Amino acid sequence: MLKLSYPDYVALRAHGEETYPHECCGVLLGKSEPDGNHVREIVRAGNTRTDSAHNRYNIAPEELIKTQRQARKLGLDIVGFYHSHPDHPAQWSQTDFAEAHWIGCSYVITAIAQGKATITNSFLLTGTNEEDKKFLDEPVEIAMNEAEIVQERGRS
Ligand SMILES: [Zn+2]
């Protein structure tokens, strides 16, 4: 299961609307717990693919290293990635699968239809290596708790 706060959920969906008709992408920082990945912070990333930004996404390696450092400073880990599918369903593509290398991470995809965010799905990358890795559908739990929302707002 992927657990995320309501503000983070709204923010990652809004990111996809902002970059429409291009894909957005970003990193999910948090903690991997026995019941799933808990997101504490989302980090926007620049989409470095210029050849076909509407159906490809990529996070530059140096940007990822920076994000990893940022996570460590906060006492968090990278627990997932997100991107958008402009005018395509919120399902992973063969390219998404080929480019997913972080076993145990959640890969979140938001479908953006005509500039509006519709469905957001998460897929957990399981397995032990590149040969036996696979994506599993993963439920997304959104914390709607008022106290948590206020706390989140107070931080940003
Ligand atoms: Zn994709």
In a domain, 156, yes or no: no
Q: What is the predicted pLDDT for the residue at 156?
A: 47
Is there a contact between 117 and 110 (Cβ–Cβ < 8 Å)?
A: yes
Q: What is the predicted pLDDT for the residue at 25?
A: 93
Question: pLDDT (tens digit, 0 to 9) for every residue of the chain, 156 residues total?
Answer: 999 999 999 999 999 999 999 999 999 999 999 999 999 999 999 866 555 555 556 788 889 999 999 999 999 999 999 999 999 999 999 999 999 999 999 999 999 999 999 999 999 999 999 999 999 999 999 987 655 555 555 554
Q: How far is CA 15 from CA 31, 86, 104, in A?
A: 22, 12, 24
Kindly list the protein residues that place their beta carbon closer than 5 angstroms to ligand 1, a single-atom ion.
Answer: 93, 96
In a domain, 54, yes or no: yes
In a domain, 103, yes or no: yes
In a domain, 108, yes or no: yes
* C-alpha 134 – ligand 1 centre gap (Å): 15
* C-alpha 73 – ligand 1 centre gap (Å): 29
* C-alpha 55 – ligand 1 centre gap (Å): 7
* C-alpha 69 – ligand 1 centre gap (Å): 25
Q: Which CATH number characterizes residue 137's domain?
A: 3.40.140.10
Q: What is the predicted pLDDT for the residue at 144?
A: 74
What are the residue ranges of helices labelled H in the chain? 6-19, 61-73, 94-98, 146-155
* C-alpha 96 – ligand 1 centre gap (Å): 5
Q: For residue 19, give its domain range.
A: 2-151
In a domain, 8, yes or no: yes
* C-alpha 61 – ligand 1 centre gap (Å): 18
Q: What is the predicted pLDDT for the residue at 60?
A: 84
pTM: 0.88
Q: What is the predicted pLDDT for the residue at 152?
A: 53
Q: What is the predicted pLDDT for the residue at 51?
A: 54
- Total domains, the chain: 1
* C-alpha 80 – ligand 1 centre gap (Å): 14
